[in-house]
Chain A
Amino acid sequence: MKGHATKLIEVTEKHADRIAAQWLGDVRVNPKTPSYHRFSDEKALSHAVAFYRSFRTLFSAEKPFDAAQRFFTKYADERYSEGIPLHEAIYALILMRRHIWLYAEFQALFVSTVEHQQAAESLTRTILMFDYATYVITERYEALMKRETEERFRRESGAGGRRQAAGPPPK
């Protein structure tokens, strides 16, 4: 797997900007990612480029879950602070994965039978990484939602008396 993985990683790293641009073209019009339709190009591209540049670390990590936890916790924190709903943040990531493979297919990276076998192994490894990614992002979003709600409650109860004098909070 090592040889083939290196090939895939190298193509992904080398063409990170191009793959990211293709991904952006997709999320911009995909009905499942409406939040990205209004997102600035620069910001959205940075999400994808960061992922593609970290692909080697994630792919070849000895402890893939720990590596995924580190990277995707940050990914979740950033998307959450940008106001992207959970299902869209995950779907945008799924599209990032698909665009790696679309690009690899476009570059005819896997032609021979042996390469096909290696592609299957690489695919399995990528899927494992994404299983972990989905788990980490979902769990992180839940924790962030909980924390934000608790903080709001605390803030509200602290400022409750003052707020009451000023009328009901804005809707």
Chain B
Amino acid sequence: MQAVATKLIDVTEANAERIARQWFADVRKNPKTPSYHNLSEDRAIPQAVDFYTKFRGVFAAKNPFEEARRVYTKYADESYRYGIPLHEAIYALTLMRRHIWLYAEFQALFISAVEQQQAVESLNRTILLFDYATYVITDRYQELMRGEVDKQLSALRALGMEDSFTGSKVGIMACLLVACGFLTYYYHAVMASGVIFTHLFYIPIVLAGVWWRKRGIGVAALLGLILIVSHLIFMKEVPLTDDLIRAIMFIVVSSVVALLAEGFSRIEVLYRTAPHAGASVET
């Protein structure tokens, strides 16, 4: 096999650019690879050239699966980045393989009976590599899809502090509530002013909504109560209307945040249990 393999590899390597261009002309109009119809030459051709120049390494590797994993993981990463769907990425690779053989046939590489026999062996080896390639690319795409979802959800999870110890959320909230209570006392009792310090109350309100969803509305209710009671004790002569409206707004904002947080949470659960996450088998 070595001789014919070398022959095949030599021809593929020496004519990598030419084979890549023939492949590109194919994927450009093939109805099974529509994503390549608009893919720029600058992106597609180097991918194919890279494949053909690395053909020797994969073909002659002692551990073909490991080598295939290394090479085709990169192919999967690139294709995924270019927004090519999995079935098209695999079909494009299939076409790359076919173009090696089309070129070899065109060059009349295998003529004699012995060469024909060697061609079968070479074909078998190529097919083995492509079996591994299909496995590696499919597996990698699923991994990339999961990674993308994780990345998109990470900002939300960071805000939700879902990986943090529950006690730290309670501690932070307690500190914020004490600070809000102190602010209320200071402005109402000491300054005797209704100046809008309550904007700061939205920090614990929003955090409580994100962390505890509907139960977080309790924090808004508590802050509203503190505001109204403080007003009734320290600012009897000033009408209650403004603070009453502020307390109502606390509840409204808190409810909206809680609803949004629950929606995001459901989306996350849906993605986590989605089939691309490598579902467990039901026997």
Q: Does B135 contact A (CB under 8 A)?
A: yes
- A39 to B282 alpha-carbon distance, docked (Å): 8
Nearest B residue (CB) for A117: B116
- A149 to B270 alpha-carbon distance, docked (Å): 7
Are B87 and A135 in contact, CB atoms less than 8 angstroms apart? yes
Q: Does B37 contact A (CB under 8 A)?
A: no
A142 in complex: contacting residue of B86, B91, B127, CB < 8 Å: B86
Are B269 and A171 in contact, CB atoms less than 8 angstroms apart? yes
Interface residues of A, CB < 8 Å — how many?
44
Are A135 and B91 in contact, CB atoms less than 8 angstroms apart? yes
Nearest A residue (CB) for B113: A113
Q: Does A2 contact B (CB under 8 A)?
A: no
- Tell me how far the C-beta of B52 lies from the nearest C-beta in chain A, rounded to whole angstroms: 18
Question: When each residue 95-123 of chain B gets 1 if its CB lies under 8 Å from chain A and 0 otherwise, what string results?
Answer: 00000000000000000010011011001
The segment from B2-10, B194-202, B235-243, B259-267 found at the interface with A is B259-267
A145 in complex: contacting residue of B113, B267, B276, CB < 8 Å: B276
Are B116 and A87 in contact, CB atoms less than 8 angstroms apart? no
- A113 to B118 alpha-carbon distance, docked (Å): 12
Are B266 and A163 in contact, CB atoms less than 8 angstroms apart? yes
The total of Cβ contacts below 8 Å across the A-B interface reads: 111
- A85 to B283 alpha-carbon distance, docked (Å): 13
Q: Does B94 contact A (CB under 8 A)?
A: yes
- Tell me how far the C-beta of A23 lies from the nearest C-beta in chain B, rounded to whole angstroms: 14
Nearest A residue (CB) for B126: A127
Q: Does A148 contact B (CB under 8 A)?
A: yes
Interface centre among B113, B138, B259, B271 (most CB of A within 10 A): B138
> B102-156: which have CB < 8 Å to A?
113, 116-117, 119-120, 123-124, 127, 131, 134-135, 138-139, 142
Are B282 and A82 in contact, CB atoms less than 8 angstroms apart? yes
Q: Is the interface of B mostly helix, strand, loop or mixed?
A: helix
Residues of B within 8 A of A83 (CB): 279-282
The segment from A6-14, A45-53, A54-62, A152-160 found at the interface with B is A152-160
Are A40 and B142 in contact, CB atoms less than 8 angstroms apart? no
Residues of B within 8 A of A103 (CB): none
With contacts A131-B94, A156-B266 taken as known, whether A142 is within 8 angstroms of B138 at the C-beta atoms is no
Residues of A within 8 A of B275 (CB): 80, 141, 144-145, 148-149
Q: Does A164 contact B (CB under 8 A)?
A: yes
- Tell me how far the C-beta of B95 lies from the nearest C-beta in chain A, rounded to whole angstroms: 9
A134 in complex: contacting residue of B94, B259, B276, CB < 8 Å: B94
Are B135 and A91 in contact, CB atoms less than 8 angstroms apart? yes
Question: When each residue 110-140 of chain A gets 1 if its CB lies under 8 Å from chain B and 0 otherwise, what string results?
Answer: 0001001101100110010001001100110
Are A116 and B116 in contact, CB atoms less than 8 angstroms apart? yes
Are B135 and A32 in contact, CB atoms less than 8 angstroms apart? yes
- Tell me how far the C-beta of A95 lies from the nearest C-beta in chain B, rounded to whole angstroms: 9
Are B279 and A85 in contact, CB atoms less than 8 angstroms apart? yes
Residues of B within 8 A of A117 (CB): 116
A sample of 23 cross-chain residue pairs with beta-carbon separation below 8 angstroms, ordered by A number, consists of: A38-B281, A40-B283, A83-B280, A83-B281, A83-B282, A84-B281, A86-B142, A87-B135, A91-B135, A94-B131, A120-B116, A120-B123, A123-B123, A123-B127, A134-B134, A135-B87, A135-B94, A138-B138, A141-B275, A142-B86, A148-B275, A149-B270, A152-B273
Residues on B close to A: CB < 8 A?
A: 32, 85-87, 90-91, 94, 113, 116-117, 119-120, 123-124, 127, 131, 134-135, 138-139, 142, 213-214, 259, 262-263, 265-267, 269-276, 278-283
Residues on A close to B: CB < 8 A?
A: 32, 35, 38-40, 43, 80, 82-87, 90-91, 94, 113, 116-117, 119-120, 123-124, 127, 131, 134-135, 138-139, 141-142, 144-145, 148-149, 152-153, 156, 160, 163-164, 168-169, 171
Identify 15 new A-B residue pairs, CB closer than 8 A, beyond the known A35-B281, A134-B87, A163-B266. A82-B281, A86-B86, A87-B142, A90-B134, A113-B113, A123-B123, A123-B124, A134-B90, A134-B94, A135-B91, A156-B266, A156-B270, A160-B263, A164-B214, A169-B265
